[in-house]
A = this chain, B = another copy of it.
Amino acid sequence: MTPSPPTSSTGIRFGTAYYWEYQRAPDLKRDLDLMAEARIDTLRVGESVWSTWEPRDGEFDPGWLTPVLDGAHERGMRVLLGTPTYAVPPWLQRKHPELAVVRADGRRVPWGARQEADFTSPTFLRYAERVIRQVIGAHGGHPAVLGIQLDNEPGLHLMHNEPVFERFKAWLARRYGDVGRLNEEWGLAYWSHRLTCWDELWRPEGNTTPSYDLAWRRFQAELTTEFIAWQAGIVRELVPGDRELTTCLAYQRPALHDVELSRHLTVTSGNAYYLPQDALAGDSPVEITWFASGPAALLQAADRMYASKKQRFWVTETNAGSIAGSQLNLPPYDGQLRQAAWALVARGAEMISYWHWNTLPYGAETYWGGILGHAMQPGRVHDEVAALGAELERAAEDVTGLTPDTDVGFLYSHDSRWALTFQPPLTPDGRNPDPDSYERILATFYQGAVDAGLQVGFVSQVKRLPVLVAPALYCLTDETAAELEAYVRGGGHLIMTFRTGYADEEARARTEIAPGPLRALAGVRYLEYSTLLRPVPLHGLGLEDVARHWADGLELEGAEPLAHYDHHHFGRWPAITRHRVGEGTVTYVGTLPGRKLTAELFRHGKPTGLVATRSQQVTVHSAVNARGERLWFAHNWSDRESTATLTAQATEVTGRREPLQPGPLRLAPFDIRVVK
């Protein structure tokens, strides 16, 4: 066997999940040859079939994968091999029914899907370690193996198994020392909740205390991180040092802290699913779902992945034919696969891997479309993938080592997201809470940045960037507040929204005047705030728009007003203010503005780059490659032709790779052009 290319190869890895073991009439050679034609150079395999790796308790059969690995190797392909721990085989379910995850209401998650097991159980870990050692021991050294995926999409459940709850009490005891301290910190005089010993702690099911809920979620995310770190430790023993360690993250998982977890990986991988067809047009409204809806949401998914380790990442799963259930089949329009892939590349993706090679004839995901459909025939989707593969291959030198540019940083706070899931500020219908409030506020401002032509980087700590956004940073520590102050005093431009700074690290409402430790910095204070049950007219920054969902009763303490409500009651308070602090500014946004005005907040006279656009349907991104060249990516997300402007001479990276003169840059419907 010839040695495989090194991990940090040239160009973009182009891959697919490949489940040879699921096929009814498998034909490995046909599949691998078709893949090679499409320039697919990376396979993702083996993560879902514990019962194939270990058909019976202690009987292992790792050999089935060898032909796949050999076949890949012969074609110069690399393989990402998964540990199968997220799918527990029936023999283990039957032997240890107590492994089933227990839900908040005390009921077990029924067997029949996957991810039903309490992965903290020593029993589970014993079996998991055994199968990991067998699978990775057998294949981890194969030259085709690029890296190991540790489990899959972890953090699906908040687990309420009794041993997990016992660990939670011990976790609390370590953090708080004694129950007296907990009584104080969590305010347990309220409603007679004061504990006299840890064993009096009530179960999460009935909990109504916000600090408890936040602790529970933090603890659950730690369990997930611990589990992946544990796998990483075992696998590291078994594979050569150049093998990557990763896992496929589904960022919406409730028990996941992607940044903490990624510390234990060599590269972050994640899902980048999106709703194609009309939902991928630039005028889609903000929707919060497990898949992206609209270009901004797709870009946001990429930026979140980059942020997990502050480095380039792998997209281990993205749409091929369609996603989700039998009732939602939406294969992409012509060009959309290419658009999505280039958008991910522009934002730092080092691998684009489709889920999956072929649509499965059975199982829960029968209607999750592959590159090939049920008929195993190359069709339109395969042809699009193959054309894209060829294009990426041609552009390989240009896109090697791309680092995405960042104009504006968004502070992402897991604590705030969790706290506002428990106590959401928004209501979709004037009655019920919106558990996605945090993500909705964030996505609204993210969309604004995109509309203003800015590129976003997510940060979990204050960072020196021209503009920093703190969307609904509810659980604000005094430390972060001080860092924000230093940032602004150092010339930074901070945009903060309602709810930022309102609570502390225990999700308690602060008892200082709001916005608490940011009051002086923002130059505003408020003693009250109101839900807006209906949009209220809003004017400012030369625009007419609406204020939605919320209005802080802002009083100026040094800031100047930027926008006002047209309303007999709310009109007394400014809706948006700006405070100059030395060279820096703080923009305080006391409401959720409409799309126009939100975008206007981000228009800061950013210098025009190589490609410029004024259309909401067109986005422009830039990134710098390993040679130090800046590439520009112009997407036309609509079904109508559009035009961007080339401000200087350039070379096209996509298409004919010819020199282009300054002037209009034509973009066909669903087109993407990359120039440098």
Which A residues are within 8 Å of any B CB, using their own CB? 19, 21-22, 24-25, 48-52, 55-56, 84, 87-91, 93-94, 105, 107, 109-114, 116, 186-196, 199-211, 277-278, 321-322, 325-331, 333-334, 359-364, 366-367, 369, 373-377, 379-381, 423-427, 430-434, 437, 506, 508-514, 527-531, 533, 553, 568-569, 639, 669
Which of chain B's residues have a CB closer than 8 A to the CB of A531? 327-330
Q: Report yes or no: A360 in contact with B527, Cβ–Cβ below 8 A.
A: no
* In the complex with contacts A325-B423, A329-B530, A187-B114 CB distance below 8 A: no
Q: Report yes or no: B328 in contact with A208, Cβ–Cβ below 8 A.
A: no
A49-B191, A359-B509 known, 7 other contacts, Cβ within 8 Å = A90-B196, A111-B206, A112-B202, A186-B362, A328-B427, A374-B514, A568-B669
Q: Report yes or no: B328 in contact with A362, Cβ–Cβ below 8 A.
A: no
Which of chain B's residues have a CB closer than 8 A to the CB of A200? 90-91, 93-94
What are some 7 contacts across the A-B interface (CB < 8 A)? A90-B193, A90-B200, A93-B202, A113-B191, A187-B362, A208-B364, A362-B506
Q: Kindly provide the distance from the CB of A515 to the nearest chain B CB, expressed in whole angstroms.
A: 11
Q: Report yes or no: A191 in contact with B569, Cβ–Cβ below 8 A.
A: no
Most buried by B among A22, A381, A437: A22
Which of chain B's residues have a CB closer than 8 A to the CB of A110? 202-203, 205-206
A20 — nearest CB in chain B belongs to which residue? B189
Q: Which 4 A-B pairs have the closest CB atoms?
A: A110-B206, A112-B206, A187-B362, A379-B527
A276 — nearest CB in chain B belongs to which residue? B530
Which of chain B's residues have a CB closer than 8 A to the CB of A377? 513, 527
Q: Report yes or no: B192 in contact with A89, Cβ–Cβ below 8 A.
A: yes
Q: Kindly provide the distance from the CB of A550 to the nearest chain B CB, expressed in whole angstroms.
A: 8
A330→B277 CA distance, assembly (Å): 40
- Contact among B90, B201, B529 with A202 in the assembled complex (CB-CB below 8 Å): B90
Q: Kindly provide the distance from the CB of A217 to the nearest chain B CB, expressed in whole angstroms.
A: 16
- Contact among B48, B196, B376 with A55 in the assembled complex (CB-CB below 8 Å): B196
Q: Report yes or no: A331 in contact with B210, Cβ–Cβ below 8 A.
A: no
- Contact among B191, B277, B359, B530 with A331 in the assembled complex (CB-CB below 8 Å): B530
A112→B206 CA distance, assembly (Å): 5
Q: Report yes or no: B192 in contact with A48, Cβ–Cβ below 8 A.
A: yes
Q: Report yes or no: B528 in contact with A379, Cβ–Cβ below 8 A.
A: yes
- Contact among B51, B334, B568 with A188 in the assembled complex (CB-CB below 8 Å): B51
Task: Please state the number of chain copies in the assembly.
Answer: 3
A434→B330 CA distance, assembly (Å): 17
A583→B654 CA distance, assembly (Å): 53
A367→B359 CA distance, assembly (Å): 49
A372 — nearest CB in chain B belongs to which residue? B527
A84→B359 CA distance, assembly (Å): 50
A506→B369 CA distance, assembly (Å): 20
Q: Kindly provide the distance from the CB of A512 to the nearest chain B CB, expressed in whole angstroms.
A: 6
* In the complex with contacts A90-B200, A192-B87, A326-B425, A361-B508 CB distance below 8 A: yes
A94 — nearest CB in chain B belongs to which residue? B200
A531 — nearest CB in chain B belongs to which residue? B329
- Contact among B322, B331, B375, B514 with A512 in the assembled complex (CB-CB below 8 Å): B375
* In the complex with contacts A187-B22, A205-B110, A325-B423, A192-B380 CB distance below 8 A: no
Which of chain B's residues have a CB closer than 8 A to the CB of A373? 527-528
A49→B193 CA distance, assembly (Å): 8
A433 — nearest CB in chain B belongs to which residue? B327
Q: Report yes or no: A363 in contact with B187, Cβ–Cβ below 8 A.
A: yes
Q: Kindly provide the distance from the CB of A113 to the nearest chain B CB, expressed in whole angstroms.
A: 5
Which of chain B's residues have a CB closer than 8 A to the CB of A424? 326-327
Q: Report yes or no: B89 in contact with A194, Cβ–Cβ below 8 A.
A: yes
A196→B669 CA distance, assembly (Å): 53
Which of chain B's residues have a CB closer than 8 A to the CB of A113? 191, 206, 208
Q: Kindly provide the distance from the CB of A202 to the nearest chain B CB, expressed in whole angstroms.
A: 4
Q: Report yes or no: B94 in contact with A56, Cβ–Cβ below 8 A.
A: no
Which of chain B's residues have a CB closer than 8 A to the CB of A361? 187, 508-511
A553 — nearest CB in chain B belongs to which residue? B380
A183 — nearest CB in chain B belongs to which residue? B51
Most buried by B among A190, A329, A511, A530: A190
Q: Kindly provide the distance from the CB of A218 to the nearest chain B CB, expressed in whole angstroms.
A: 17
Q: Report yes or no: B433 in contact with A325, Cβ–Cβ below 8 A.
A: yes
Q: Report yes or no: B432 in contact with A327, Cβ–Cβ below 8 A.
A: yes
Q: Kindly provide the distance from the CB of A274 to the nearest chain B CB, expressed in whole angstroms.
A: 14
A426 — nearest CB in chain B belongs to which residue? B327
Q: Kindly provide the distance from the CB of A114 to the nearest chain B CB, expressed in whole angstroms.
A: 5
Which of chain B's residues have a CB closer than 8 A to the CB of A375? 510-514, 527
Q: Report yes or no: B208 in contact with A363, Cβ–Cβ below 8 A.
A: yes
Which of chain B's residues have a CB closer than 8 A to the CB of A206? 109-113, 116
A533→B359 CA distance, assembly (Å): 21
Which of chain B's residues have a CB closer than 8 A to the CB of A568? 333, 639, 669
A506→B361 CA distance, assembly (Å): 10
Q: Report yes or no: A195 in contact with B112, Cβ–Cβ below 8 A.
A: no
* In the complex with contacts A206-B116, A362-B210, A196-B91 CB distance below 8 A: yes
Q: Kindly provide the distance from the CB of A360 to the nearest chain B CB, expressed in whole angstroms.
A: 7
